[in-house]
Amino acid sequence: MEWSIQEIAKKAGTTSRTLRHYGERGLLEPSRIGANGYRYYDQAALVRLQRILLLRELGLSLPAIAEVLAGQRDTSAALRTHLALLEQERERIGRQIASVRTTLQKTEKGEELMADEVFDGFDHTKYEKEVTERWGAEAYAEGDRWWRSLDAGQKKAFVAEQAEIARDFGRAARSGLAADGEEVQAIVRRQVAWLSKTATPSKEYLIGLGQMYVDDPRFTAHYDKHGEGTALLVRDAMTVHAERYAG
């Protein structure tokens, strides 16, 4: 039995463009390509896609997923590993739910809170480690200082500005606009200006960040909720801008 790329994309909650991107990265080859040029996937491909999606849910980048898939050729063993990781994540989320429930109950009763109860299940160093690994400790420290300097209104405006930029990228993606076209590049300039509020983005930074929007499921979901392929358009547009203007 096999399924078309549109069927698989719909069932997996993703897009045909994303599946084609996985194919371009060597992660998910179609079982065959029909005379009409359509891609079809068999049961083995479905299992492989499930593994890819599970690894993305765990926060792995596409290069890291490729390494995992290359090193785990035993499908059953790989699925057992995924299952164990998912159960660990379920346990962590369960602790968070219990923590919030305890905080709510004690707050409503006017009881004293314990720090261990309030923060159980939360990893407050996750983003610090991630930014430090990608761009260095000073990059994290600079961004953290800038963010802490803002008041509540400024923080809200900063987040709202990016949300509007993302929506405009989505409209451009739905309209099929080219990444190097003036309309999309105008949106990129707003994106770069927004990024420049925390630091001066270099050429390498912009290209790397654009790629992260595609590789990291959290960023992909942020953009693609506005339209299929939005994250890919953002990446390509940022690369064009970086090649043209960034130093």
**Is 104's pLDDT higher than 60?**
yes
pLDDT score of 123 more than 70: no
Confidence label for 122 from pLDDT (cuts 50, 70 and 90): very low
Given pLDDT bands bounded at 50, 70 and 90, which one contains residue 139? low
For residues 175-199, give the mean pLDDT: 91
Share in percent of the chain as helix, strand, coil (round to 5): 70, 5, 25
Q: How far is the CA of 247 from the CAs of 124, 193, 207, 240, 242, in angstroms?
A: 34, 15, 12, 13, 8
Helix (H) or strand (E) holding 155: helix 152-174
pTM comes to 0.49
| Cβ within 8 Å of residue 13, ≥6 positions away | none
Residue 66: pLDDT band (50, 70, 90) is confident
Let me know whether 130 and 238 are in one domain: yes
If asked whether residues 172 and 112 sit together in one domain, one would say no
Distance CA 234, CA 179 (A): 8
Please give the residue range of the domain that contains residue 184: 126-245
Say yes or no: 133 and 208 in one domain: yes
Cα–Cα dist 140/152, whole Å: 20
Contacts of 75 (CB under 8 A, 6+ apart): 47, 51
Q: How confident is the model at residue 37 (pLDDT cuts 50, 70, 90)?
A: confident
% of the chain at pLDDT higher than 90: 24
* Tens of pLDDT, residues 13-33: 888 888 999 999 899 999 999
Distance from C-alpha of 181 to C-alpha of 186, rounded to nearest angstrom: 9
Residues 47 and 153 in one domain: no
If one counts the domains in the chain, the total is 3
Beta strands in the chain, from DSSP E residues, in sequence order? 2-4, 32-33, 39-42
Can you give the C-alpha Rg of the chain in angstroms? 21
> Kindly report the CA angle at 210 between 55 and 78, in degrees rounded to 5?
10
Same domain, 60 and 130: no
Most confident of 107-116, 191-200, 231-240: 231-240
CA 70/CA 204 separation, integer angstroms: 28
Contacts of 15 (CB under 8 A, 6+ apart): 9, 224, 228, 229
65 and 110 fall within a common domain: no
Coil, helix or strand for 180?
A: coil
- Return the CATH number at 67: 1.10.1660.10
Q: What is the mean pLDDT of residues 185-193?
A: 94
- 151/120 Cα distance (integer angstroms): 28
State the pLDDT at residue 198: 75
| pLDDT bracket for residue 124 (50, 70, 90) | very low
Taking CA atoms, 78 is separated from 29, 41, 45, 87, in Å, by 19, 20, 14, 14
Asked whether residue 240 falls in the same domain as residue 177, the answer is yes
Question: Is 90 exceeded by the pLDDT of residue 186?
Answer: yes
Q: What integer is the mean pLDDT of 32-47?
A: 89
Residue with tokens 């912009």: 206
* Residue 58 pLDDT exceeds 70: no
pLDDT at 118: 46
Note whether 185 and 233 are same-domain residues: yes
